[in-house]
Chains A and B, each alone.
Chain A
Amino acid sequence: MELKSLRKADLITSVLVIAFGLFVMIMAMQMPMTASYGGVQAHWYVAPALFPLIIGAALILLGFILGFVALRGGGLKALLEGIEEKSKKRIDEKTIRVWVVAFALGSFIYVFIPNIDFFISIATFLFFVCSVFYSESPRVFRHMTRLFLVETAVFALIFASGVSDVLTHLYYYSTDAVALVMLVVMNVYARRLMKLDGLSGKKITTVMWLSIITPLILCPVFRYLLLTPLPNEGIILDHMNLFYYQLKY
């Protein structure tokens, strides 16, 4: 980041830091300062609010200094110029790539892991991220991202609306089965996109194997060697457990 853009960002963050410092102080002021809590008669110097108050005050002070430095370094001018230019500017490729990674991680953590079989969650995440970044095809990147966006939105809707409960009532592994079907769809779609670009599907085959082998190693290692119950054990992991314990006992 060049110095001018850095000072622009500093100006914005200084405001955020001051606001955050204020928030910390306001929250701290609601904590007991001299009243008794949990049977302990508190003085100001042992109050739980003391340290957060110091932190809040320090953040406000540092925020002001940062803002001052940013203003002196031409942060305001750069900010105003940035606002004017924003309408003309297109989002660059790197920013899009960051958003895609962040979105993939976010959907993996908040949508897939808590609700879908961990094995399938890992496979879906890996297949999506590896195919868009490893294929080196803008078409695959664009279309696969769209597909993954729709898939995540559909799953989020299914789980948030309670439809998943109805589906589970009908068939216990229904959502896992849908996710599995989606994984197959992603695979077929990625191959088709590669073909349209005149590229071989070899890279997608590599990605497919990677997205199967990784959970195939990780899940048993954590589940049976480290004895860690996995976040969501569904259609694949339940059967894997069944197979493992049948074999063991």
Chain B
Amino acid sequence: MPVFLVTLQTFFIEIFQLLVNPGAMLLLFASVVMGIIFGATPGLTATLGVALLTTLTYGMSPATAMVALMGIYVGGVYGGSYTAILVNIPGTAASAATAMDGYPLAKQGKAGMALGLTTTASAIGTFIGMIFVVSFSPLISNMALQFTSFEFFLLAFFGIVISGTLTSQDLAIKGWIAGFIGLWMATIGRDKLQTYPRFTFGLNDLDSGLDLVPVLIGAFGIPQIMQTLRDDFKYGEMAEVGKILPSWGKIARNFKNIIRSALIGVGIGAVPGIGEDIAGWVSYGTAKKMSKNGDKFGTGMEEAVIATETANNACIGGAMIPLLSLGVPGSPPAAMLLGALMLHGFNPGPMLNIDHPGFYLQITAILLLASICMWVCGILLAKQVIRVLKIPISLFMPVIAVLCIIGSYALGTRTFNLFLMFPVGILAYFLTEMKYPIAPLVIGVILGDMADSNLRRALMVSKGSFLPVLTRPVSLILFLVIVVMIFSQTPLYGRMMKSLSGLFKKKTTVGRD
């Protein structure tokens, strides 16, 4: 039988196995609903949802745990659109672009229709992302098997530089600083090659390094809790939700828009550390540019909500590609998922497909079912979810704080993890306030070990020579991309581009004359 058919057969077997397992299906539905609630509640994010659920999945089998975690991830990214449409406050940053046209639609009395469109668009986006996961992850991981230590070191470095550059709201340099702080945090503990204790200050608890989950919960959870309680957040008047309909006709008319947005989502998701929020905005901008009614964007255009929601959910699949094939998370929730995978004995990267054959297909099957569950829940349970949103944030957030604390503690049953989580959270809060992005810091913590071990291993093989960076093609490409990315942030680059464009303009004028 051809390999393609064998893969397809395995894929359907995976789906069938999940479908006939009522426990797994119930868990999937429950985690999708929980994800929607997390996504819809301002201050709570898909990342935090995955983080908190990781604790609860510790005792589950890896397959069941993945069902729960992928469910909350998919639900969390989609859920943000609820409050974006109903109260003009995006539940997550991923849905910020949805609010631009979703809320005007709700004000026109079309909230139900808008929710129907976003639900269907999100499901299609997740589905398209899933196709990319299954087609590209094995290819990339096969390619990555040829990588040597230099490539892995540069890949880790590339992850930090690109996420630092693209996630920074202010200066790219702030993203890089956050990334290097993350890298430093990863060096804490006994080093892998010589077991020398680095930055442990004589504390035995630090010997094994920082546990990833408390660091991630601290970095993503604590600032959110502090900001939401500080701002005394309250919902405004919620728009009336009529009947929630999928509006297949409108979806069909937006076929091109959906495909384009899904490709944008997958592409952005595959870039390390860049999340669903950027996918939403880029897709919104592109849809506006390509639309005949671009000037009407912002007044309640259906095309706009379809574009943003397709892209942010397609981003999930995109983010899973580098995570599974290279061990580099594509987005903050994927970073959390990486921690969960490691906790369950999986080591994402090129060896994953060899150590656990069929794991990609399992994840793909879960993604497909999660997107269907999300669609069903979105259409049938939206009104019930909206009711949950009426719980005051000042009562909800302290409970989330308790969950963060118990979650950080429960994974290793170490009180030390709590002592660690709190300062990380405070640091993350102040960094966020000063417009330092948190994603590069987290990526730094995750990729620090990969960068450190591979750099030293590579130099060991080359006897201290950095020349292989320039002689190996993949290394050279990665190196040049990093250099160009850093250079692009300097004033010299701006001036160079200006003079180049000036020169080009002159030439065209001369040519015309």
**A residues neighboring B (CB under 8 Å):** 1, 6, 9-10, 13, 17, 20, 24, 27-28, 31-32, 37-38, 40, 42-48, 50-52, 55, 58-59, 62-63, 65-66, 69, 94, 97-98, 101-102, 105-106, 108-110, 113-114, 122, 125-126, 129-130, 133-134, 206-207, 210, 214-215, 218, 222, 225-229, 231
A110 to B489, CA, bound (A): 42
Taking A59-B177, A66-B177, A69-B171 as known contacts, 16 extra A-B pairs with beta carbons closer than 8 A to each other, sorted by chain A number, are A38-B194, A45-B460, A47-B194, A48-B196, A50-B456, A59-B180, A59-B184, A66-B174, A94-B230, A98-B429, A109-B418, A113-B409, A133-B397, A218-B403, A225-B59, A228-B409
Q: Per a CB cutoff under 8 Å, which of B191, B398, B413, B460 touches A126?
A: B398
Which residues on A sit within 8 Å (CB–CB) of B398? Answer: 125-126, 129-130, 133
> Contacts A31-B198, A110-B419 known; A50 to B455 CB distance under 8 Å?
yes
Question: Once the chains bind, are A55 and B180 in contact (CB under 8 Å)?
Answer: yes
> Contacts A6-B435, A125-B398, A214-B402 known; A106 to B226 CB distance under 8 Å?
no
> Contacts A129-B398, A133-B232 known; A58 to B171 CB distance under 8 Å?
no
A21 (CB) vs chain B CBs: closest residue: B180
Question: Once the chains bind, are A109 and B176 in contact (CB under 8 Å)?
Answer: no
Question: Once the chains bind, are B59 and A133 in contact (CB under 8 Å)?
Answer: no
A22 to chain B, nearest CB (A): 13
B414 (CB) vs chain A CBs: closest residue: A231
Chain B residues 176-200 with CB under 8 Å of chain A are: 176-177, 180-181, 183-184, 187, 191, 193-196, 198-199
A110 to B422, CA, bound (A): 9
A40 to B398, CA, bound (A): 50
Question: Once the chains bind, are A227 and B230 in contact (CB under 8 Å)?
Answer: no
Query: Does residue B477 face the partner (Cβ distance < 8 Å to A)?
Result: no
A65 (CB) vs chain B CBs: closest residue: B173
Which residues on A sit within 8 Å (CB–CB) of B406? Answer: 218, 222
A122 (CB) vs chain B CBs: closest residue: B402
Question: Once the chains bind, are A46 and B405 in contact (CB under 8 Å)?
Answer: no
Pairs A–B under 8 Å by Cβ, sample size 11: A44-B464, A46-B456, A47-B194, A51-B456, A55-B184, A69-B173, A98-B226, A105-B401, A122-B402, A125-B402, A134-B394
Number of A-B contacts (CB under 8 A): 167
A110 (CB) vs chain B CBs: closest residue: B419
Query: Does residue B229 face the partner (Cβ distance < 8 Å to A)?
Result: yes
Query: Does residue B56 face the partner (Cβ distance < 8 Å to A)?
Result: yes
Query: Does residue B480 face the partner (Cβ distance < 8 Å to A)?
Result: no
Q: Per a CB cutoff under 8 Å, which of B171, B415, B460 touches A114?
A: B415
Instruction: Select the residue from B171, B184, B397, B426 with max chain A CB neighbours within 10 A.
Output: B184
Which residues on B sit within 8 Å (CB–CB) of A24? Answer: 184
Query: Does residue B36 face the partner (Cβ distance < 8 Å to A)?
Result: no
> Contacts A101-B229, A105-B401 known; A46 to B413 CB distance under 8 Å?
no
Contact with A along B191-228 (1 / 0, CB 8 A): 10111101100000000000000000000001001100
Q: Is the interface of A mostly helix, strand, loop or mixed?
A: helix
Instruction: Select the residue from A20, A109, A231 with max chain B CB neighbours within 10 A.
Output: A109
Question: Once the chains bind, are B232 and A97 in contact (CB under 8 Å)?
Answer: yes
Question: Once the chains bind, are A101 and B225 in contact (CB under 8 Å)?
Answer: yes
A50 to B453, CA, bound (A): 10
Query: Does residue B245 face the partner (Cβ distance < 8 Å to A)?
Result: no
> Contacts A44-B464, A226-B59 known; A38 to B195 CB distance under 8 Å?
yes
Question: Once the chains bind, are B173 and A109 in contact (CB under 8 Å)?
Answer: no
> Contacts A45-B459, A48-B191, A214-B399 known; A106 to B58 CB distance under 8 Å?
no
Question: Once the chains bind, are B173 and A9 in contact (CB under 8 Å)?
Answer: no
A206 to B435, CA, bound (A): 37
A152 to B503, CA, bound (A): 69
A210 to B413, CA, bound (A): 25
Question: Once the chains bind, are A1 and B435 in contact (CB under 8 Å)?
Answer: yes
Question: Once the chains bind, are B399 and A27 in contact (CB under 8 Å)?
Answer: no
Question: Once the chains bind, are B196 and A38 in contact (CB under 8 Å)?
Answer: yes
Question: Once the chains bind, are A37 and B196 in contact (CB under 8 Å)?
Answer: yes
B411 (CB) vs chain A CBs: closest residue: A228
Query: Does residue B170 face the partner (Cβ distance < 8 Å to A)?
Result: yes
Top 9 A-B pairs, shortest CB-CB distance: A45-B459, A133-B394, A129-B398, A48-B196, A48-B191, A51-B452, A45-B464, A134-B394, A97-B230
Which residues on B sit within 8 Å (CB–CB) of A226? Answer: 55-56, 58-59, 410
Question: Once the chains bind, are B177 and A17 in contact (CB under 8 Å)?
Answer: yes
B218 to chain A, nearest CB (A): 10
Contact with A along B365-408 (1 / 0, CB 8 A): 00000000000000000000000000010110111011101100
Question: Once the chains bind, are A105 and B177 in contact (CB under 8 Å)?
Answer: no
Query: Does residue B434 face the partner (Cβ distance < 8 Å to A)?
Result: yes
